[in-house]
Amino acid sequence: MTAARSDSWRGARGVFAILAAPPMLWLFGFFLAPLALIWGYSFGENVSLTQIAVNGSLGNYARAIKPLYLAIIGKSAGLAALTTLVCLIIGFPVAVAIAFAAPRTRVWLLLLVMLPFWTNLLIRTYALMAVLRREGTINTLFGWLGLGPFDLLHNSFAVVFGLVYVHLPFMVLPLYAALDRLDRSLLEASLDLGAGHISTFARIVVPLALPGIVSGIIVTFIPALGAYLTPDLLGGTNSLMIANIIERQFKSANDWPFGAALSFLLIYLTFAAITLQALLARRQDEARA
């Protein structure tokens, strides 16, 4: 019986190939091929306003690791890390509240978390500009207290504020997924054995939610590092991130090879971070085994 089923699955490979061909062609034609083209540009140089000669040169990468651009990458990483930390501090209690809420309430709370995804990012960013400007909502509230107005726009504070607002759901959802699988009997056992709520939270909830924490950090930090629109609209000249520098290379500077090198430098760093996370996860699994 098992052999017959195995033969039937093997005989259906043609069907799977037919079903997989369209998405694979789409993936290759509209993702991998353009990505490979830009990767090739990173080893080239401009020979005219419209032509790029790919000659295998590493000059663009050598230029990308100069102190000026390394400082911008470092500042971008710092803003992304601060954004991730704030999202973790805010998102963990929110995820706990959702995971331990009643089933009917949980649905509405998840809906509120995902609701921003249904609104265009540009519209949300302009809404934040209206909130943060000197005549905006926050400064109006400070005015009622006899404070301000404060310059809350076009600075690093506005960039981090906007990035947290945009990327907070990316932190909450992985944390909720990890906490939702939590064995509630472990919490009851901890409390029955005399541990307080804070001790139970620190020694039971946080360790068991660690996979969700790691996943949330990765899916929050990487998009925040490559954010373009939020720092472009909310940040000032001293708050530009690496994505804004890359955009200028492709547009105003017309230096596609250097822009491609900067882009792939970020991709290399992303791959390194994901690889490091995978290695740490494997070591943890081996230690548990």
Express each pLDDT in 35-48 by its tens digit. 999 999 999 998 88
Q: What Å distances lie between residue 143 and 131, 134, 146, 239, CA to CA? A: 14, 10, 5, 26
DSSP 30: I
- What 181-185 contacts at long range (C-beta under 8 Å, 24+ apart), as own/partner pairs, is 182/99, 182/208, 182/209, 183/208
Are 260 and 38 in contact, with CB atoms under 8 Å apart? Answer: yes
Are 250 and 256 in contact, with CB atoms under 8 Å apart? Answer: yes
Per-residue pLDDT, 206: 85
Q: How confident is the model at residue 8 (pLDDT cuts 50, 70, 90)?
A: low
Question: What's the CA dihedral at 261, 262, 266, 271 to 10 degrees?
Answer: 10
Q: Rounded to an integer, what distance in angstroms lies between the CA atom of residue 77 and that of residue 226?
A: 9
pLDDT in tens, 160-212: 999 999 999 999 999 999 888 887 788 878 877 777 778 888 888 888 888 88
Take residue 69 and report the two structure tokens written for it. Answer: 């651009």
Task: Report how far Cα 278 is from the mean position of its chain's Cα atoms.
Answer: 17
DSSP 181: T
CATH 1.10.3720.10 for domain 64-288: yes
**In the predicted structure, residue 2 carries a pLDDT above the cut 60:** no
Task: Report how far Cα 245 is from the mean position of its chain's Cα atoms.
Answer: 19
pLDDT in tens, 81-124: 999 999 999 999 999 999 989 888 999 999 999 888 888 889 99
Phi and psi at residue 119, in whole multiples of 5°?
-115, 140
Q: Rounded to an integer, what distance in angstroms lies between the CA atom of residue 173 and that of residue 186?
A: 22
Q: How confident is the model at residue 10 (pLDDT cuts 50, 70, 90)?
A: low
Q: How confident is the model at residue 224 (pLDDT cuts 50, 70, 90)?
A: very high
The dihedral through the CA atoms of 129, 130, 131, 134 has a sign that is positive
Task: Report how far Cα 20 is from the mean position of its chain's Cα atoms.
Answer: 28
